[in-house]
Structure 1
Amino acid sequence: MSLRKVKACSAAVVLSVLCAPSFAAWPDDQTIELVVGFAPGGGTDLMARALVPFLEKKLGGKARIVVVNKPGAGGEISTTYLARAKPDGYTVGFINVPGFVFIPMYKQATYKTDDVRIIARVVDDPAVLMVRDDGKFKTIPSIIEALKKDPKSLSFATSGRGTSGHQALLKIEAAAKVKGTDIPFKGAGEFKSALIGGHVDFAFASVGEYLAGYGNMKNIIPVAVMNPSKVSAIPNVPSVYEYGYKIRVTSERAIAGPKALPDDIANRFQQAIKDTIADPAFVATVKNDAAVLAYMPGAEFTKSLELIREELKPLVAAMQ
């Protein structure tokens, strides 16, 4: 090659480098969506918004995260959106167990559990049954007795069919051989006004949701927690086990991404979540949820889903 051609090629290479667009490495070059499958104001939404500034800091660089609510179908809409997103680290979201596992078990869902990659669990939050202070029935025995006398006479608000609250109702119905009326909403934030206004008799939420949304309200009373023992955050509330009903229902919330999310991004996000959960400043920020924070690595939590699936099998027939 002649010297003139060498110089011309060198100039072309330099020009192409100078003119090429500059692409920053993840997560600096665009905003990350943190998808929530329930309406604003519920436990998952509040946790997501509390996490954002800390995750941005732990990820470092120019990381920016925005919460995107896609409520409906008990989380199926948001999980499907998450599963179909590009696996580039710019779309992650919350999955809510047991609903995440249960929905594909009882119907032809638009996602499969292995369509997403779980990054890390954040919360393990038992369900609690709530009633207004002027409600006629304020204990588990009185509720059961009323439903035996008049099936479906009492209504129970939940965050949607297949969610932890709905499963709590199904388990009570099966254990006590009664039938209530399920009233599904798009999240705990949405059914708050229905409970306060007397449009439903009861509502199922998580302990964290109760503390954040109702804890300071004298007209809302927690009836019982769906847990083998009392919960330290609400020590005066009895466990359903105390009445002879061995019902455990908890909402485990984890952050996940599309199935093909690269290892380096998943691992970096997992470390940011772990560091956030351990940060005293974050714990102080989510004081209502502090008692139910429960970090678990994605791989370990993924393995636990099989045990949850076995526990849910008896409920499939009830849903169908």
Structure 2
Amino acid sequence: MTISRRHFIASLGALSLSAKAPAILAQGLGDYPNRPIKIIVPLAAGGGGDLTARQIAKLLTERMGSPVIVENKPGAGGSIGTSYALRTPADGYTLLMLSSSHTCNAALRELPYDSIKDVEPISLLKRESLILVGRNGLPAKNLPDLLEIAKKEPGKITYGSSGVGGITHLSMEHMTDLAGVKLNHIAYKGTGPALQDVLGGTIDLMFSSVAIVVPIINDQRAVGLAIADHRIPALPDVPTFKEAGVPEFKSDLWHAVAGPKGIPPEIVAKLNAELKAVLEMPEMQERIAAEGSQAVGSSPEEFQQTIENDIAQWKNVIQKTGIKAE
């Protein structure tokens, strides 16, 4: 078989490029990071997302040899801090802590940024199941009994949420739409006040993160009716929604790291690898497990798909239920 001189030279060129690929990748990284990296948390200090960001920042600092600091920019349901972060240079030095609220906001409100196109996904960090919590003395022993009461007396059962369009509100509307019932919604300014009224018997139900209510349920100050996705060891008697008769229900709380669109792929790959390594550390695994959450460590593509799927789901719920932003 005769090989032309042109094809021979082309083959040598391809081999040369292949051999240089790792070097090219390293050259793209340069000396990144050579100055502090900032993680913007678009929520107030002290919450679950903020505490996770600070632990991640501490461990990334140790691994990467450059300071990683957390800056809180709360307000407008997280959109102020998100808007700020997405308008910074796409160089990998300003990152953004995102949560499920990002997709709820995108589904309900007009925002000063595109919640998909303006975001460079890096990695999901953790997922936490939502749990349906009822007050003591609720006139139902389980979720099927509760739904039966709601069908017979629409609007009699009351539930609280952290606010109109939040994940606890949209999740309840999603569940009641699937079950074909109508509950009476009372919006609060945060999860804490709503939970206090569940404990005080003022309202009947609410959705909550597992981490907040495990001790409350175990102390029999409230009742766990159903949990999303899977049972957890901390609450072994609380059934899943599938087991309780609402198999299509899907909702969870997640936290993740992203940045402004256009971060070089080499830097995205490095940050993704570093975040995955941090999530595998025993101290991080223990911390996340103690919260009732699961460490994830996804690819950027998987994170992107989560954002798109969640926005589509919440838009569908909003359209079907007629929820309006306040």
Structure 1 residue 117: deviation in Å?
Answer: 0.9
Q: How many residues align structurally?
A: 290
Structure 1 residue 224: deviation in Å?
Answer: 0.8
Distance across 2 between alignment mates of 1:217 and 1:93: 37
Which structure 2 residues correspond to residues 133-152 of structure 1 after superposition, within 5 A?
133-152=136-155
* Matched position secondary structure for 2:181: coil
Deviations 1:116-154 (A, max 9, x none): 111100112221111333444452133323433443333
Which structure 2 residues correspond to residues 25-44 of structure 1 after superposition, within 5 A?
27=33, 29-30=35-36, 32-37=38-43, 39-44=44-49
Which structure 2 residues correspond to residues 54-69 of structure 1 after superposition, within 5 A?
54-61=59-66, 63-68=67-72
Partner residue, 1:241: 242
* Matched position secondary structure for 2:298: strand
The answer to whether the aligner puts 1:165 opposite 2:171 as a matched pair is no
The answer to whether the aligner puts 1:110 opposite 2:115 as a matched pair is no
> Cα–Cα, structure 1 residues 136 and 28, in superposed 2: closer, same or farther, change >3 Å?
farther
Q: Percent identity?
A: 25
Name the stretch that deviates more: 163-172 or 275-284: 163-172
Distance across 1 between alignment mates of 2:191 and 2:108: 23
Partner residue, 1:50: 55
> Cα–Cα, structure 1 residues 234 and 160, in superposed 2: closer, same or farther, change >3 Å?
same
Distance across 2 between alignment mates of 1:95 and 1:153: 36
Structure 1 residue 286: deviation in Å?
Answer: 3.1
TM-score after normalising by structure 1:
0.76
- Residue 297 of structure 2: which of 288, 295, 298 is its match? 295
Structure 1 residue 275: deviation in Å?
Answer: 0.8
Structure 1 residue 70: deviation in Å?
Answer: 1.2
- Residue 125 of structure 2: which of 111, 122, 126 is its match? 122
Structure 1 gaps, min length 5:
1-24
Whether the 8 Å contact between 1:59 and 1:268 is mirrored in structure 2 is no
Whether the 8 Å contact between 2:39 and 2:53 is mirrored in structure 1 is no
Structure 1 residue 205: deviation in Å?
Answer: 1.8
- Residue 202 of structure 1: which of 189, 202, 205 is its match? 205
Partner residue, 2:255: 253
Distance across 2 between alignment mates of 1:299 and 1:159: 30
Partner residue, 1:283: 285
Whether the 8 Å contact between 2:40 and 2:85 is mirrored in structure 1 is no
Structure 2 gaps, min length 5:
1-30
Deviations 1:177-228 (A, max 9, x none): 22223344565456444444445432212334444x746644133221123x
> Cα–Cα, structure 1 residues 81 and 155, in superposed 2: closer, same or farther, change >3 Å?
farther
Q: Which amino acid aligns with 1:244?
A: G
Structure 1 residue 304: deviation in Å?
Answer: 4.2
Q: Which amino acid aligns with 2:299?
A: P
Which structure 2 residues correspond to residues 178-193 of structure 1 after superposition, within 5 A?
178-185=181-188, 187-188=190-191, 191-193=194-196
Whether the 8 Å contact between 2:41 and 2:49 is mirrored in structure 1 is no
Whether the 8 Å contact between 2:134 and 2:205 is mirrored in structure 1 is yes
> Cα–Cα, structure 1 residues 145 and 231, in superposed 2: closer, same or farther, change >3 Å?
same
> Cα–Cα, structure 1 residues 34 and 233, in superposed 2: closer, same or farther, change >3 Å?
farther
Whether the 8 Å contact between 2:53 and 2:70 is mirrored in structure 1 is no
> Cα–Cα, structure 1 residues 57 and 100, in superposed 2: closer, same or farther, change >3 Å?
same
The answer to whether the aligner puts 1:80 opposite 2:77 as a matched pair is no
* Matched position secondary structure for 2:105: helix
Partner residue, 2:15: none
* Matched position secondary structure for 1:267: helix
Structure 1 residue 95: deviation in Å?
Answer: 1.9
Name the stretch that deviates more: 81-90 or 275-284: 81-90
> Cα–Cα, structure 1 residues 104 and 31, in superposed 2: closer, same or farther, change >3 Å?
closer
Structure 1 residue 276: deviation in Å?
Answer: 0.9
> Cα–Cα, structure 1 residues 204 and 290, in superposed 2: closer, same or farther, change >3 Å?
closer
